[in-house]
C-alpha cells in the first residue's frame, strides 16, 4: 500500500519520477519557459515555488537546500541574484503560469507551456478606500444628535433645491437641442425640394430636346419618300410627216408616164 507517498507517478518508478521532476525544474529556471504535459507541469509547481521561496530568504541554509533540489550550484547562484534584484518582489506565491495548447496526437495527452511569472505586481485598490468614515462614538448627548439631524435635514433641502435647478437646466438644454434638430430637419427638407425641382427642370429640358430630334427625323423621312417628277413628253408632230405631202409625191410618177 502507498502510505506517505504523495504526488503523481507519471508512469514510471519513484527514482525515474524524481529525476524527471528535477530535470523539468532546472530547464524551467534556465529557459524561463518549457513545453510539457499538464500532469508534469502541475507536479513541479510546488518545487519551483519552494526554490523561489529559498531564494527570497537568501541565507546559506536556503542556498544549500536549493542546490540539493536542483543539483546545479551555478544555476542556484543566478536564481538568488535575480531574486535579490527584485525579480519576484511583492509576489507571495504563484510564480508559474500554465498555458494549455491542446491534445497531443497518439496518446491524447494535454500539452501545455509552463513559464515563470516575471511581471511586476499591481495591487488592486478598493473602490471605498478614499471614503474613510469614522464610526460614531457612543454616549453622545441628545442635543448633539438633534443638531446633527437638523444639519442633515438642511443639507438634504439644499441638495433637493440644487437637484431642481439642475433638472430645470437640463429641460432647457433638451428644448434647445430639440429646436436645433427641427431647424436642421427643415433645412434638409428645403434642400431636398430644391434638388427635386432642379431634377424635374432637367428632365423637361431633356424631353423637349428628344421631341425636337424626333420631329427632325420624321421630316427628313417624309422628304426622302416623295417621288421625283416625270419629264413631259415632247411634241410628236415634228417627227411624223404630213400626209398631203406624201400623196403628192406618189402621184407625180404616174403623170410623167402618161
| Total number of domains constituting the chain | 2
Query: Does 127 map to a domain?
Result: no
- Clarify whether residues 106 and 18 are in a common domain: yes
How many angstroms separate the CA atoms of 163 and 157, rounded? Answer: 10
The x, y and z cell numbers of residue 61, run together, are 541554509
- Clarify whether residues 78 and 167 are in a common domain: no
Query: Does 161 map to a domain?
Result: yes
- Clarify whether residues 87 and 159 are in a common domain: no
Please tell me the predicted confidence (pLDDT) of residue 182. Answer: 77
How many angstroms separate the CA atoms of 43 and 96, rounded? Answer: 12
**33-37 and 96-103: which strand pairing?**
unpaired
pLDDT tens-digit series, residues 209-219: 777 777 777 77
How many residues are there in the chain?
Answer: 258
Within 10 Å of residue 152's Cβ, how many Cβ atoms? 10
* Start-to-end CA span in the chain (Å): 186
Q: Following CA atoms 209, 211, 217, 220 in sequence, which dihedral angle do they give, to the nearest 10 degrees?
A: -100
Q: List the CATH number of the domain containing 92.
A: 3.90.1030.10
Range of the domain at 31: 14-116
Q: Could you give the count of Cα atoms lying within 13 Å of 104 in the half-sphere of its Cβ?
A: 12
Q: Mean pLDDT of all residues in the chain? A: 77
Q: How far is CA 49 from CA 78, 97, 175, in A?
A: 16, 11, 65
The x, y and z cell numbers of residue 183, run together, are 431647424
- Clarify whether residues 28 and 103 are in a common domain: yes
- Clarify whether residues 18 and 112 are in a common domain: yes
Query: Does 5 map to a domain?
Result: no
pLDDT of 162 higher than 90:
no
Whole-model pTM: value is 0.48
Query: Does 180 map to a domain?
Result: yes
- Coil/strand/helix, residue 34: strand
Within 10 Å of residue 214's Cβ, how many Cβ atoms? 10
- Coil/strand/helix, residue 170: helix
pLDDT tens-digit series, residues 38-90: 999 999 999 999 999 999 999 999 999 999 999 999 999 999 999 999 889 88
Query: Does 31 map to a domain?
Result: yes
Contact 107, 113 (CB under 8 A): no
Could you tell me the pLDDT band of residue 178, with boundaries at 50, 70 and 90? confident
Residue 131 DSSP class: -
Please tell me the predicted confidence (pLDDT) of residue 227. Answer: 54
Query: Does 171 map to a domain?
Result: yes
- Clarify whether residues 161 and 104 are in a common domain: no
pLDDT of 133 higher than 70:
no
- Clarify whether residues 39 and 89 are in a common domain: yes
Query: Does 205 map to a domain?
Result: yes
Amino acid at each position: 500500500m502507498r502510505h506517505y507517498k504523495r504526488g503523481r507517478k507519471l508512469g514510471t518508478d519513484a527514482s525515474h519520477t524524481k529525476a524527471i521532476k528535477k530535470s523539468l525544474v532546472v530547464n524551467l529556471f534556465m529557459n524561463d519557459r518549457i513545453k510539457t504535459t499538464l500532469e508534469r507541469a502541475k507536479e513541479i509547481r510546488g518545487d519551483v515555488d519552494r526554490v523561489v521561496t529559498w531564494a527570497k530568504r537568501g541565507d546559506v541554509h536556503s542556498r544549500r537546500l536549493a542546490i540539493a533540489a536542483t543539483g546545479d550550484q551555478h544555476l542556484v547562484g543566478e536564481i538568488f541574484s535575480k531574486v535579490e534584484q527584485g525579480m519576484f518582489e511583492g509576489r507571495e506565491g504563484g510564480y508559474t503560469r500554465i498555458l494549455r495548447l491542446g491534445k497531443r496526437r497518439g496518446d491524447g495527452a494535454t500539452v501545455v507551456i509552463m513559464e515563470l511569472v516575471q511581471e511586476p505586481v499591481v495591487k488592486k485598490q478598493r473602490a471605498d478606500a478614499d471614503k474613510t468614515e469614522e464610526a460614531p462614538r457612543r454616549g453622545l448627548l441628545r442635543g448633539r444628535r438633534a443638531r446633527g439631524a437638523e444639519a442633515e435635514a438642511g443639507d438634504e433641502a439644499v441638495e433637493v433645491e440644487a437637484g431642481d435647478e439642475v433638472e430645470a437646466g437640463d429641460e432647457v438644454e433638451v428644448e434647445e437641442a430639440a429646436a436645433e434638430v427641427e431647424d436642421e430637419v427643415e433645412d434638409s427638407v428645403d434642400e431636398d425640394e430644391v434638388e427635386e425641382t432642379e431634377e424635374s427642370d432637367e428632365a423637361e429640358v431633356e424631353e423637349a430636346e428628344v421631341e425636337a430630334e424626333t420631329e427632325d427625323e420624321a421630316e427628313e423621312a417624309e422628304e426622302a419618300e416623295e417621288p421625283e417628277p416625270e419629264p413631259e413628253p415632247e411634241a410628236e408632230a415634228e417627227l411624223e410627216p404630213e400626209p398631203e405631202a406624201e400623196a403628192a409625191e406618189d402621184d407625180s410618177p404616174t403623170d410623167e408616164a402618161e
